[in-house]
Amino acid sequence: MNSGRNRVAWFAFAFLAVVIGLYPLAYYFSGEEMGLLTSKSKELLGDTLWNTAFYGHISFGGLALLIGWTQFSRKWRTRYISWHRAIGKIYVSTALLSGTCAIYLSFFATGGLVPGLGFFLLGAFWLFFTIRAYTAIRKRDISAHEAFMIYSYALCFAAVCLRIWMPLLILLLGEFLIAYKIVAWLCWVPNLIFAFFWVRRKGLQID
């Protein structure tokens, strides 16, 4: 029974990562403003630096989300170690680029300080845990590397949680702005708590 539930959970995890990982393509192929862009001013939408950061964030973040879930299969990691390392390097690179863009974008967050701080901390923690995961594997500290990667991808998965929570909050509260202020924190704080208990359950050691 447990193995059946685990397979369903694994499938849902992978499916959501792939679907939301591909979601940024909609911004490129849509002929009009969509999603978060509809809440931005014309001045901001015309700013080259902001646009570079926005499309850099969704593109590199989407790729990190799209490939990162594969690293959680122990059987796959053991059998295809060279692929694990190659994908890991791509994940780290894309996470660092997307996280850096996210921190810049947080200063222009719709709704002001509350969502801005939420997204700023999300980007900062994502960079921190990704860098720690990379430095740990460079030191051949596999336990710490695995733990920090769990934290890193939990934050990357905030992109999925945001798109699950946002419509539910709007439906419940009836207002976009209030929902957005809440989701700026709700999309990642529970993920980090879940990652903490997952790391503890696996008995992973962090220096």
Label residue 31 by pLDDT band (50, 70, 90). low
Mean pLDDT of 189-205: 94
Instruction: Calculate ∠ Cα 159-55-108, nearest 5°.
Output: 75
Cβ atoms 168, 162 nearer than 8 A? no
Reported in sequence order, the residue ranges of 18-85 that DSSP labels E, i.e. its strands, are: none
Return the DSSP state at 109.
Answer: -
Label residue 66 by pLDDT band (50, 70, 90). very high
What pTM does this model have?
0.91
Cβ atoms 165, 186 nearer than 8 A? yes
Return the DSSP state at 71.
Answer: G
> Any idea which of 5-9, 46-50, 63-67, 91-95 has the lowest mean pLDDT?
5-9
What is the spatial distance between Cα 138 and Cα 52, in angstroms, rounded to a whole number?
Answer: 31
How many Cα atoms sit within 13 Å of 56 on the Cβ side? 19
